[in-house]
């Protein structure tokens, strides 16, 4: 399964409205509910898990990238959403810079290997400047998904 499979086009937000990481996380979780990848009943527990993880340490890893993630016992499978912000989101990132590319992913409790593998794959892909530039230049969700699919190499 590749990142292009994990991040579906309907779970891509080409322009986040969020101003900070909490709003961005809420917006991305809401997109997963609207698309049917999360049930309404899962929203609260999933948000609590992501908030707990973010409060331990921001997932703003630098270079304008945020990768909020968590595991939860209410999930049956890995789900993910992608958001882009041209204005930047205050994420309390390690480099203290605003974040423009946010990948939220959620895994079922106890799936440690898929969790680490997905995190590493996302970070490796977004660490490449040309990939970030292509994502920032993509005109819409379909084009963003095409960039992710082209550059994703998950196992």
pLDDT in tens, 19-74: 999 999 999 999 999 999 999 999 999 999 999 999 999 899 999 999 999 999 99
**What is the number of other CB atoms lying within 10 angstroms of the CB of residue 110?**
9
pLDDT in tens, 73-84: 999 999 999 999
- List the catalytic residues: 69
Please state, in angstroms and rounded to a whole number, the distance separating the CA atoms of residues 119 and 3. 10
Instruction: Give strand pairing partners of 106.
Output: 70, 79
- Nearest residue to 67 via CA among 78, 53, 77: 53
Q: Which CATH architecture has domain 3-151?
A: 3-Layer(aba) Sandwich (3.40)
- Provide the b/e sequence for 47-63 (b: ≥16 CB within 10 Å): bebbbebbeeebbbbeb
- Where are the chain's structural domains? 3-151
- Do 126 and 132 contact (CB within 8 A), yes or no? yes
């Amino acid at each position: 399964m590749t990142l292009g499979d994990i991040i579906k086009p309907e779970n891509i937000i080409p322009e986040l409205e969020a101003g900070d990481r909490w709003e961005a996380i809420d917006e991305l979780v809401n997109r997963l509910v609207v698309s049917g990848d999360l049930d309404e009943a899962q929203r609260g527990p999933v948000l609590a898990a992501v908030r707990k993880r973010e409060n331990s340490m921001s997932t703003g890893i630098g270079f304008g990238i945020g990768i909020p993630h968590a595991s939860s016992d209410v999930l049956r499978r890995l789900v993910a959403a992608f958001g882009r912000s041209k204005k930047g989101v205050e994420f309390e990132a390690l480099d203290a810079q605003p974040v423009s590319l946010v990948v939220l992913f959620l895994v079922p409790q106890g799936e440690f290997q898929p969790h680490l593998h997905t995190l590493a794959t996302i970070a490796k892909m977004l660490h490449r400047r040309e990939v970030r530039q292509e994502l920032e230049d993509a005109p819409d969700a379909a084009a963003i998904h095409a960039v992710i699919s082209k550059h994703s190499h998950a196992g």
